[in-house]
Amino acid sequence: MANHKVICWDCGCDVDDPLVNTCPKCGGLLTVKMDLEPVKEKKPADLQKKPIGVWRYSDFLPVNPANAVSIQEGGTPLYSTKALGKEIGIPDLYVKYEGANPTGSFKDRGMTVGVSHAVELGMKVVGCASTGNTSASLAAYAAKAGLKCAVFLPSGKVAAGKLAQAMFFGAKVLSIDGNFDDALALARKMAEEKKLYLLNSINPYRPEGQKSVLFEIMDQLQYGIPDRIVVPVGNAANIWAVYKALTELEEVGWIDRMPMLTGIQAEGAMPVASAFSKKTDDFIPEKNPETIATAIRIGNPVSGRKALKAIYSTGGYSTSVTDDEILAAQKLLGRREGVGVEPASAASVAGAKKLREMGIIDRDERVVCICTGNALKDPDTIINSCEAPIKCANSVEAVEKILSQ
């Protein structure tokens, strides 16, 4: 018997058609309701017998692990970042480094579950719109599963590493005239006309895999619950997935309080942060999102309302950071900790620094920043923001002279 059902997040009705991405009755967002009764008999240590990674948590996943299409996703490091923490005034600071996933971003967590489910359904063609990382991940998992794959990318706005991955793994890479929101509208139309199976995070199976980042953080902290988790927000599914994982841990009795979920957006693409500042449950889409953090260059986040629910329900916070703050945080993390992340990921660190300065984050909080993607995803931004290679004659004296400067 299935261990879950799909329901409408808005009206609560059961949704039986596996090919719809919104509620047939009210048009609302969908979500998975897990049957966690069997898990209530267990404790975290029972799961810890399996290797750390997404599939350790199969009791919380709506896919039979025997059907898993896996490239060994998850199991990423949780760094205790003391030097960075000292610098920004949060001594008990951690970075969950999602850049260590197989395709270099957190998307692999959702994609292993989403593509496994697509295979269970017998789908042959999968697709997604993407600012880059989702397409890189889907292309890889589709290759592993032997599925045909089409990815819809905003023309000229996808970082080099991500584009290279989508091309390399053999997807049909479609460059769409418009931004992510436009590309997603087209991908959704294709799905509605049943031309492909959509694997954007509006598909409720995707966030299910993304819950695993929270399960891992809890395991890695030996269930010492952090006070706050800081997440970059774009299309807004990831922060929702973290929240959903927390509600499920609470349901099975493994935690008794929740970290304050804190969503960070880029100043040029901040519909969720704007809604938070007005204390509203819904957001106003932005027409022309713009930021150097192209991964989160999104004006109409599909899961924006779910993100706001996650933030309000945990007593969390949301704010925006400028491109300069993002680049400064990216460099700081690299130069204090040796950890390389892409700009969107650095938004979480930039946000933690800003909120500490504002006094929203207390000095004694235990804070985890989720850093969603690898630095090598976007080499151009790094090359443009760092000192150029130094021209040097082929002699010891020339090198010495440069090192002494």
Binding of residue 236 to ligand F0G (CB under 6 A): yes
Structure tokens at 388: 């150029």
What is the CB-side half-sphere exposure of residue 279 using CA atoms within 13 A? 1
To the nearest whole angstrom, how small is the minimum distance from the Cβ of residue 128 to ligand F0G? 7
Is 345 a binding residue for ligand F0G by CB under 6 A? The answer is: yes
Do 207 and 109 meet the contact criterion of CB atoms below 8 Å apart?
Answer: no
Q: What count of residues does the chain have?
A: 405
342 binds ligand F0G (CB under 6 A): yes
Q: Which stretch binds ligand F0G (CB under 6 A): 51-59, 164-172, 227-235, 246-254?
A: 227-235
- Position 208 contacts ligand F0G (CB under 6 A): no
372 binds ligand F0G (CB under 6 A): yes
Considering only residues 238, 291, 318, 330, which one is a binding residue for ligand F0G as defined by CB under 6 A?
A: 238
Verify binding: residue 291, ligand F0G, rule CB under 6 A: no
Residue 237 binds to ligand F0G (criterion: CB under 6 A): yes
Task: Identify the residue among 373, 378, 381, 382 touching ligand F0G (CB under 6 A).
Answer: 373
- Report the amino acid identity of residue 213: V
320: helix, strand or coil: strand
Of the candidates 347, 183, 184, 380, the residue with the CA atom closest to the CA atom of residue 270: 347
**Rounded Cα gap, residues 400 and 405, in angstroms:** 9
Indicate which single residue of 296, 339, 349, 361 sits in contact with ligand F0G (rule: CB under 6 A): 296
- Number of residues engaging ligand F0G in binding (CB under 6 A): 22
* 214 within 8 A of 78, measured Cβ to Cβ: no
Q: Does 226 engage in binding with ligand F0G (CB under 6 A)?
A: no
Of 28-36, 131-139, 166-174, 332-340, the window that binds ligand F0G (rule: CB under 6 A) is 131-139
For the chain, the straight-line distance linking the first and the last C-alpha, in angstroms and rounded, comes to: 69
Is there a contact between 36 and 251 (Cβ–Cβ < 8 Å)?
yes
Grouping H, G, I as helix, E, B as strand and the rest as coil, residue 175 is strand
* Shortest Å, Cβ 139 to ligand F0G: 12
Q: Which amino acid is at 369?
A: C
Name the residues that contact ligand F0G, by CB under 6 A.
105, 107, 130-134, 201, 232-238, 295-296, 342, 344-345, 372-373
